[in-house]
Chains A and B, each alone.
Chain A
């Protein structure tokens, strides 16, 4: 049997083909299918990041078309209207009542919303700190009639203040219930976006 005098060339060509095919195959497997070679990232990761579940619903998830603004839960509707009048109307409900995901799951209530009546919750924002803006209302034993009633920081804030409308004293609370329902919607005014 004669061995071709060019067999070493053929062997080299076969080796080269294996190397090239191997490289192309490995490269194809290593690069994700949605790779954007111009901007150098995986386009699918954008869609994957959008799948992250939300925990905070924002005020629109409480009012609007949601539970707390429906006739069938008239009590809720009245309460929400009261909130809409108070000086705390610009706040997020979830600041004090906990995240939506702990209260509602799959459009069903899974647990009661948090109702925290401790001073700590109020003082989180309203304790007197030298670093806070001077025009922000901060607890002061000397101011706002606190001096008249000898109010100390340990006295429960909610004994006198309504949490949704703290400028309104709790003593007047009965009067507020007789007032007609307000129509003002409470919304977060931090800007609107739609992607």
Chain B
């Protein structure tokens, strides 16, 4: 009854089934559930998840943060890792200025502009340390990355200065350092935070317009801001999962 051909088919199907099962097992062996069952904690969540809060309602535009950042990080003259923009919203349009990044504070706006102003405020800017950072995606050599604690950093030994990341950043926070000839950006003062200090700009801000902390610590100021849920991020349409939460952010801000 059994012909050699039908027997071969049965053997083939059995082998196919076994092979599929083996491949399926191979694919799920690193699944979180499997990892939990087998005690494999290789993908354990990091201890820290840092975030930054900028409170526009508190910023007085004194420029201390910009000066502190430039001193702390030896940023070349004329370049900025953080800066302050002044927005003056008038019926005829929006006027934005940032003389020397707001480093030396601001002079009063023209009297005519001040009279016309419907609304005016300062907006501090810095790297948003995006969870889905476009700059990391475009780096061709892996010189920029997001550390397990949430810092988007540049490996200065590895960067080739191609400036793809400068173009990819929707927030314009990256630049090519004139002196080092490589990509440069805000690090949230990684070197300070790793020693238990706050970023330089947060340390010097006289009005607590800048906050920094760990979202995993429910008592931290940033965790409370996130819980209060009245924050916004810059350019939410870019889907960068920005980790800089802005308070009092108006839609006119770009």
Distance A90 CA – B206 CA, assembled complex (angstroms): 7
Contacts of A39 in B (CB 8 A): 145
B-facing residues in A123-148 (Cβ within 8 Å): 124-125, 127-133, 136
11 other A-B residue contacts (CB within 8 Å) besides A50-B191, A195-B196: A41-B143, A56-B68, A56-B200, A92-B64, A94-B204, A125-B62, A125-B105, A133-B60, A188-B198, A190-B210, A193-B193
Q: Which of B120-172 contact A (CB under 8 A)?
A: 120-122, 142-145, 147, 149, 153, 155-158
**What CA separation (Å) do A15 and B142 show in the bound complex?**
32
Would you call B57 and A133 a contact (CB within 8 A)? yes
**A55 proximity list for chain B (CB < 8 A):** 71-72, 200
Q: Is the CB of A195 within 8 A of B145?
A: no
**Would B155 and A92 count as touching, CB distance under 8 A?**
no
Interface membership of B82, Cβ < 8 A: no
Q: Which of A35, A49, A124 contacts B190 (CB 8 A)?
A: A49
* B197: contacting residue among A40, A48, A54, A189, CB under 8 A: A54
A56 touches B149 (CB 8 A): no
| Bound complex: CA A194 to CA B48 (Å) | 9
Contact B108 A127 (CB under 8 A): yes
Q: What A residues does B155 contact at CB under 8 A?
A: 41-42, 45, 48
Q: How far is the CB of B92 from chain A (nearest CB, A)?
A: 16
Indicate whether B175 reaches chain A with its CB closer than 8 angstroms: no
Q: Which residue of chain A lies nearest to B119 when distances are taken between CB atoms in the complex?
A: A131
Contacts of B28 in A (CB 8 A): none
Give the residues in chain B near A194, CB-CB below 8 Å.
Answer: 196
Q: Indicate if the CB atoms of A131 and B153 lie closer than 8 Å.
A: no
Q: Is A52 an interface residue (CB 8 A)?
A: yes
A56 with B202, Cβ < 8 A, contacts A51-B191, A124-B105 known:
no
CB pair B58–A133 under 8 Å, yes or no, is yes
Closest beta carbon of chain B to A177's beta carbon, Å: 26
Cα–Cα, bound, A92→B197 (Å): 13
Taking CB as reference atom, which chain B residue is nearest A88?
A: B206
Docked-complex contact A125 and B206, CB < 8 angstroms = yes
Would you call A91 an interface residue if the criterion is a C-beta within 8 Å of the partner chain's C-beta atoms?
Answer: yes
When chains A and B are docked, how far (Å) is the Cα of A48 from the Cα of B143? 13
Q: Tell whether, in the assembled complex, residue B191 and residue A130 are in contact, meaning their CB atoms are under 8 Å apart.
A: no
Q: When A41-B142, A49-B187 are in contact, do A190 and B211 touch as well, CB less than 8 Å?
A: yes
**B73's closest neighbor in chain A, by CB?**
A52
Contact mask for chain B residues 217-230; partner A; CB cutoff 8 A; 1 contact, 0 none: 00011100000000
* Cβ contacts under 8 Å, B191 to chain A: 49-54
Residue B246 at the chain A interface, CB threshold 8 Å? no
Find out whether the CB atom of B50 lies under 8 angstroms from the CB atom of A193.
Answer: yes
Query: Out of B145, B194, B205, which one reaches A40, CB within 8 Å?
Result: B145
B212 touches A124 (CB 8 A): no
Alpha-carbon separation in the docked complex, A41 to B144 (Å): 7
> Judging by beta carbons under 8 Å apart, are A131 and B208 in contact?
no
Shortest C-beta distance, A113 to chain B (Å), equals 14
Closest B residue to A61 by beta carbon equals: B197
Task: Given A49-B187, A50-B191, A193-B214, verify A131-B196 contact (CB < 8 Å).
Answer: no
Q: Which residues of B lie under 8 Å from residue A132 when comparing CB positions? A: 60-61, 122
Given contacts A128-B108, A136-B60, contact A189 B157 (CB under 8 A): no
Q: Is the CB of A131 within 8 A of B206?
A: no
Contact B213 A193 (CB under 8 A): yes
Q: Is the CB of B108 within 8 A of A130?
A: yes
